């Protein structure tokens, strides 16, 4: 049986980077990299179920990605729609809940329809939650949460002095989910690119040179093993954490 590292994260977030570079490296059309990336998504989602990771959040399409060439954006939209149609039944069968975060109003009606249907179909009896961040940005998320809180204040439902971090957090698109313990970015880039800015305040970061279409089960397990060796202090000293662990 496959041995697992101790101290596994509950929630892993991944910035899926390197699809285009993978396609160029293999002398393939650009969209081939994204198709190969979908295969890795399947593999890593399955690994989460096997390893006991409760939540997997994938940064699939940022709010800035609309600035990419139209042919690529249109291809990504077709790929997204195809995946929604094809994978929902498998997600339900494998007890995986789908949740899509981001401003979905910009997507086609078909995509919005299949998102709603997939979320409803997988909402019960699940072991893993798969969160897809699509047309998502961390600044957008904080802004829309702030607007919701401001509207409640204007309606008299909330007093300004009652606004706390937990109140704002409850209006983020990830409300109800644990914050990410581990953030992975593939392809060698070492930035978080406006992804889960609030939620990743105390996440551990793991950067790898591996391009996303090459990031499979073994690479994911290596990232989890690296995380398991970290000491998470949350502002405390190492001595304090070690004393608490020993108790």
Q: What domains, with CATH codes, occur in the chain?
A: 11-246 (3.40.1180.10)
For residue 108, give Cα distances in angstroms to 76, 115, 116, 188.
Answer: 12, 11, 13, 32
Burial class (CB in 10 A: 0-12, 13-18, 19+), 11: buried
Q: So what's the pLDDT on residue 239?
A: 65
**135 Rama class: left (phi>0) / alpha (psi -120 to 50) / beta:** left
Structure tokens given for 39:
């295969």
Structure tokens given for 47:
């690994």
| pLDDT tens-digit series, residues 30-39 | 899 999 999 9
**Residues near 5 by beta carbon (within 8 Å), at least 6 away in sequence:** 221, 224, 225, 227, 228
Closest CA to 119 of 106, 104, 141: 104
Residue range 73-78: mean pLDDT, rounded: 94
Residue 175 clears pLDDT 80, i.e. is over it: yes
Residue 2 clears pLDDT 80, i.e. is over it: no
Cα 46 to its chain centre, rounded Å, is 15
| Residues labelled catalytic | 17, 65
Residue range 101-116: mean pLDDT, rounded: 96
Q: So what's the pLDDT on residue 30?
A: 81
Residue range 140-157: mean pLDDT, rounded: 98
Residue 143 has phi, psi (to 5 degrees) of: -65, -45
Q: So what's the pLDDT on residue 183?
A: 98
Structure tokens given for 159:
């007093």
Which of 33-37, 103-107, 165-169, 234-238 has the lowest average pLDDT?
234-238
- Is the CB of residue 4 less than 8 Å from the CB of residue 52? yes
Q: So what's the pLDDT on residue 197?
A: 98
Closest CA to 119 of 136, 137, 103, 132: 132
- DSSP secondary structure letter of residue 10: S
* pLDDT: which is higher, 232 or 16: 16
Q: So what's the pLDDT on residue 1?
A: 47
Output the average pLDDT for the chain: 93
Percent of the chain with pLDDT over 70: 92
Half-sphere exposure of 17 (CA within 13 A, CB side): 20
Structure tokens given for 128:
């893993």
| pLDDT tens-digit series, residues 180-227 | 999 999 999 999 999 999 999 999 999 999 999 999 999 999 999 999
Q: So what's the pLDDT on residue 57?
A: 98
Residue 233 — pLDDT band, cuts 50, 70, 90?
low
Rounded distance, CA 37 to CA 20, Å? 10
* pLDDT: which is higher, 94 or 236: 94
What is the model's pTM? 0.92
């Amino acid at each position: 049986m496959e041995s697992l590292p101790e101290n596994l994260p509950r929630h892993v977030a991944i910035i899926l980077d390197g699809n285009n570079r993978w396609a160029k490296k293999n002398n393939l059309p650009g969209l081939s990299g994204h198709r190969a990336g979908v295969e890795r998504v399947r593999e890593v989602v399955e690994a989460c179920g096997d390893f006991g990771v409760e939540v997997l959040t994938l940064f699939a399409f940022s709010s800035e990605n609309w600035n990419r060439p139209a042919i690529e954006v249109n291809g990504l939209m077709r790929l997204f729609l195809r995946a929604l149609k094809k994978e929902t039944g498998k997600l339900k069968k494998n007890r995986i809940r789908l949740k899509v975060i981001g401003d979905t109003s910009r997507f086609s009606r078909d995509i919005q329809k299949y998102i709603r249907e997939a979320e409803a179909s997988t909402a019960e009896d699940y072991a893993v939650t798969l969160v897809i961040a699509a047309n998502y940005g961390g600044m957008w998320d904080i802004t829309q949460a702030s607007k919701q809180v401001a509207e409640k204040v204007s309606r008299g439902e909330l007093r300004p002095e009652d606004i706390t971090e937990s109140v704002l957090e409850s209006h983020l698109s990830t409300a109800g989910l644990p914050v990410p313990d581990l953030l992975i970015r593939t392809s060698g880039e070492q930035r978080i690119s406006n992804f889960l800015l609030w939620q990743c305040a105390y996440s551990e970061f793991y950067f790898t040179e591996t391009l996303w279409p090459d990031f499979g089960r073994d690479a994911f397990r290596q990232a989890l093993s690296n995380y398991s060796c970290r000491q998470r202090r949350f502002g405390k000293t190492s001595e304090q954490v070690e004393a608490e662990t020993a108790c």
